[in-house]
Amino acid sequence: MVEIVHSAAPVCAIGVSLVAVILMLISKGYPNLREFWTIGASILKFSIVVSMLPTILDGKVIEYSLYSILPGLDIKFRVDPMGIFFALTASFLWIITSFYSIGYMRALKEHAQTRYFSFFAIALSATMGVAFSANLFTTFLFYELITLSTFPLVAHTETPEAIKSSRRYIAYLLGTSIAFQLSAIFLTYNATGTLEFSNHGILAGKAPDMLLIIIFILFMAGITKAAMMPFHSWLPAAMVAPTPVSALLHAVAVVKTGVFVLLKVILFVFGVDLLSKLGVGTALAYFASFTIIVASFIALRQDNLKLRLAYSTISQLSYVVLAVALLTPGGITASVMHIIIHAFGKITLFFAAGAIYVATRKTNISELNGIGKQMPLTMAAFTIGVLSMIGVPPAAGFISKWYMISGSIEARQIPFIIVIAASTILNACYFLPIVYTAYFKRHDNEIYNEEWRMLNKGYGMINLNSEVRIKEAPPLMVVSLILTAIGTLVLFFWPSLFLELARMVVGGVI
């Protein structure tokens, strides 16, 4: 029997950035003070999460009930290995993203910065709420708060394209969640009388198999933040947002929340044994495989850097789905680990894309000839992120792919090993040309200067254009992306803490 510790720490972790929002609004006319509250809240949030870690590693869980609406329908929080795994990832990356955002917003002299930082903070509070939810009801409330708080961020630039994309964003996420996920929650409550998460699920023996399969399909269709096809088009559309928002969508909050909730439904609502009995795990794995391969082919065709990264995210997120759908220890370990590994790798790539835009105003891959010589720190970090996405040591992406293959072998599912191998090749095909373009193609200025020197050889003429150079983005941005790149390397050499938490999750559900 797991020992339960009653503590308000998870509520504090959720509430700290909400308090910061009030302080930011009060400090609207004082940018330095406003940003102080942003950084202070992010550090305090991470500190609170870290303070709960020893209790969880000791085999205990933390619980706190806030309000009871009906029997079995509570706003309740529970910190367990899976929840703190996700919370550590999101809260740490919020610190780095906050510094990066300050550099980005100031460099571009963006409007409505107080609104931007305020909704950013609300989104992180909601993310913590999802991480520490003890039941489906609490999860759903915070899941929807993430959608509502990120909507203004997607629409931030207020251009016609941004408004159109933000409407698609909220229509997809809110519409499918209410239509499908909420229906699944109602059916689950009706069948079981509770929405509490349990290590071995709550639905076994509570309804006919056909109804259970329907509930499962409704959940998978309703958790649209996981961006599985065909409910994926909101994600590329949301790339009109500022790059720090794109990083938030892909690495810290939105899509990570989607796959996190999907994992909790699979492991703690249905349970491994029930899904094995129903046979829907394999079907989900094939569905995820389709998304992995098709999204990779679409990524190959994108010249816009952020769009290529967006379709890469759609593909990479389905690794999490494929791995957990194997319902094996190796697969579940891979699924949990890929949440943090993908987060560090993908946020590095988006940070680099934002740095390139701030320094050059360029957004297309075909415009990045020779950028590696002009922005060496940015492109070095980008290259490390690329290696992680492909799964090349010593970047951390190798670890999750290793466990995916191990899980496929445990499940005796050779086709999924082929999918992982094929997708790895496709990862290389759409990422390595960016690196090649940056390092091995000559910049237009470089070609022009050489032609000028040849034409004027011996005449002592000076090319005034020769002194024009692209510089790195502001230091806050460059330091941030270097730190996340280093993080992908650290996770390869020292993954023990997160592997231990992932194994605790596996030990609880199998």
Q: What pLDDT digit, counting tens, does each position of 450-508 carry?
A: 544 554 554 444 444 444 467 899 999 999 999 999 999 999 999 999 999 999 999 99
Sign of dihedral through CA atoms 192, 147, 74, 273? positive
Residue 248 confidence class, pLDDT cut points 50, 70, 90: confident
Residue 242 confidence class, pLDDT cut points 50, 70, 90: confident
Helices (H), 155-192: 160-176, 182-192
Identify the pLDDT of residue 462: 42
Cα(471)–Cα(479) distance, integer angstroms: 14
| pLDDT exceeds 80 at position 250 | no
Q: What percent of the chain has pLDDT over 70?
A: 95
* Most distant CA atoms of the chain, gap in Å: 90
Phi, psi of 418 (to 5 degrees): -65, -40
Region of 60 on the Ramachandran plot (φ > 0 left; ψ -120 to 50 alpha; else beta): beta
Residue 444 confidence class, pLDDT cut points 50, 70, 90: low
Lookup: tokens for 467: 């002194």
Cβ atoms within 10 Å, residue 289: 22
Q: Answer whether 97's CB lies under 8 Å from 91's CB.
A: no
| pLDDT exceeds 60 at position 95 | yes
Nearest to 6 by CA among 76, 80, 58, 63: 63
* Average pLDDT value for residue range 91-95: 94
* Average pLDDT value for residue range 375-380: 96
* Average pLDDT value for residue range 350-362: 93
Identify the pLDDT of residue 471: 86
Question: 3-class DSSP state for residue 392?
Answer: coil
Residue 237 confidence class, pLDDT cut points 50, 70, 90: confident
Phi, psi of 383 (to 5 degrees): -65, -40
* Average pLDDT value for residue range 254-261: 92
Of 66-75, 167-176, 297-306, 390-399, least confident by mean pLDDT is: 66-75
Of 6-15, 233-242, 422-431, least confident by mean pLDDT is: 233-242
Identify the pLDDT of residue 209: 94
Q: Answer whether 66's CB lies under 8 Å from 75's CB.
A: yes
Helices (H), 225-375: 234-237, 243-247, 254-264, 272-278, 280-300, 305-325, 329-360, 371-374
Q: 262-311, pLDDT tens digit by residue?
A: 999 999 999 999 999 999 999 999 999 999 999 999 999 999 999 999 99
Q: 15-62, pLDDT tens digit by residue?
A: 999 999 999 999 988 999 999 999 999 999 999 999 999 999 999 999
Identify the pLDDT of residue 451: 46
| pLDDT exceeds 90 at position 441 | no
Mean pLDDT of the chain: 91
Look-up of token digits 């003070």: 33
Q: 382-426, pLDDT tens digit by residue?
A: 999 999 999 999 999 999 999 999 999 999 999 999 999 999 999
Q: Which residues contact 142 (CB under 8 A, 6 or more apart)?
A: 126, 127, 129, 130, 133
Amino acid at 339: I
Domain residue ranges in the chain: 291-510
Q: 118-150, pLDDT tens digit by residue?
A: 999 999 999 999 999 999 999 999 999 999 999
CA–chain centroid gap for 39, Å, is 20
Identify the pLDDT of residue 460: 43
Cα(462)–Cα(225) distance, integer angstroms: 56
Identify the pLDDT of residue 458: 45
